[in-house]
Structure 1
Amino acid sequence: MPKLDLDAIEQTNRTGYPPPYAEAMAKRHFRRLAPAAGIEDFGVSHVVLEPGGISSQRHWHDGEDEFVVMLDGEAVLVEEGGETAMRPGDCAAFPKGVPNGHHLVNRTDRPCTFIAVGRPAASDCHYPDVDLHLDANSGAFVRKDSSGF
């Protein structure tokens, strides 16, 4: 059956970020929809941000496109060019290779929900605000000077 039962898909707030960058993810909860649907060519996540939550550390990818659709509530898209309110129905696109660090921040007093579409990172990922870099060769997070955590 093509319709997914969200309640049957595990919701988690796991993160691969090393300390101290992982702590900021405590108010982000997501469900990986693509594996539950048998989709293999791209990822789809159903994400809920509690008030004060962020979607990720602000980042951009060398080789992966990303697309976001706001479903419920409101968040602020923070990117290189400034900030933009994202409300239900709003979409944002982040083409690969464009150095536009971005993330969503919930500055309201109620949860917001969005869908994020992309692929798991297979290329370098850059985090302009913190001393963090995802190295594609090793698949590990390293400091910007390439030293480990």
Structure 2
Amino acid sequence: MQSGKPLVAKDTRPEIGSPYPDPFASLATSTAFLRLGDQFGLTQLGVNLITLDPGVQSGLRHWHSLEEEFLYILEGEPTLVLNDGECKLSAGMCIGFKAQDRNAHLMINRSDAVVHYLVIGSRVPGDVCYYPDDDLSWFPTESGDIAVHKDGSPYS
């Protein structure tokens, strides 16, 4: 707060597209990420509003070494894909993933309506994000996270 008044985010613009390197970049091109936590300078907690258009998935199935994630469905009926299967979610439902929980996850919008959900996650230095179905991991470096193959070699 400044001068006793709360800071309020207005006129925010979502990021559209995918952070993944080729050949994975095309998998989340209609996903919109609105990084709400960044607007307030949050450094220990990420808060993102995700919009999935019909027929779109959130990204690749993944899990984190150090980060914890919490997902809360605001609108729509996404399908949550886990190691042992899938389940349909709806508004008001939520799920959490503890650090080092190898139950990799992603959301797919198989409905005809837009899906909106919140992702809240801890921001822990040194976190590695693993993608068990794909030749990809996000690995921390001093200059930022980089995409690497499973053998550790970086994507160009």
Q: Does TM, normalized by the shorter one, top 0.5?
A: yes
Equivalent in the alignment of 1:68? 71
Percent identity over the alignment?
32
TM-score by length of 1: 0.90
Moved more, 121-130 or 26-35: 121-130
* Residue in structure 1 matched with residue 38 of structure 2 by the alignment: 35
Q: Hey, what's the Cα distance between the residues in 2 that align with 1:26 and 1:143?
A: 21
1:45, distance to aligned residue in structure 2 (A): 0.4
Equivalent in the alignment of 2:118: 115
Q: Structure 1 residues 24, 98: closer, same or farther in 2, change over 3 A?
A: same
SS in 2 for 1:27: coil
Tell me by how many angstroms 1:4 deviates.
Answer: 3.9
Counterpart for residue 52 of structure 1: 55
Following the alignment from structure 1 to structure 2, what is the Cα–Cα distance between the partners of residues 18 and 132? Answer: 9
**Equivalent-residue separation in structure 1 for 2:53 and 2:19 (angstroms):** 19
Whole-angstrom distance in 2 between the partners of 1:4 and 1:52: 29
Q: Distance in 1 between matches of 2:43 and 2:138?
A: 22
* 1:143 aligned onto 2:149: yes
Q: Separation in 2 of the partners of 1:38 and 1:142?
A: 28
* 8 Å CA contact 2:18, 2:27 repeated in 1: no
Among 80, 99, 102, the alignment partner of 1:99 is: 102
Q: In 2 relative to 1, CA 76–99 (structure 1 residues): closer, same or farther, beyond 3 Å? A: same
Please tell me whether the aligned partners of residues 49 and 55 of structure 1 are also in contact (alpha carbons under 8 angstroms). yes
Does the 8 Å CA contact 1:13/1:27 hold for their aligned counterparts?
yes
Q: Which amino acid aligns with 1:131?
A: D
Cα RMSD for the two superposed structures: 1.7
Q: What 5-or-longer segments of structure 1 have no aligned partner?
A: none
Tell me the residue number matched to 2:3: none
Which blocks of at least 5 consecutive residues in structure 2 are unaligned?
A: 1-5
After the TM superposition, list the runs of 4 or more consecutive aligned residues in structure 1 that deviate by more than 6 angstroms. none
Name the amino acid aligned to 1:144.
K
Shift of 1:137: 4.2
Pick the structure with greater CA Rg: 2
CA distance in 2, matches of 1:85, 1:115: 16
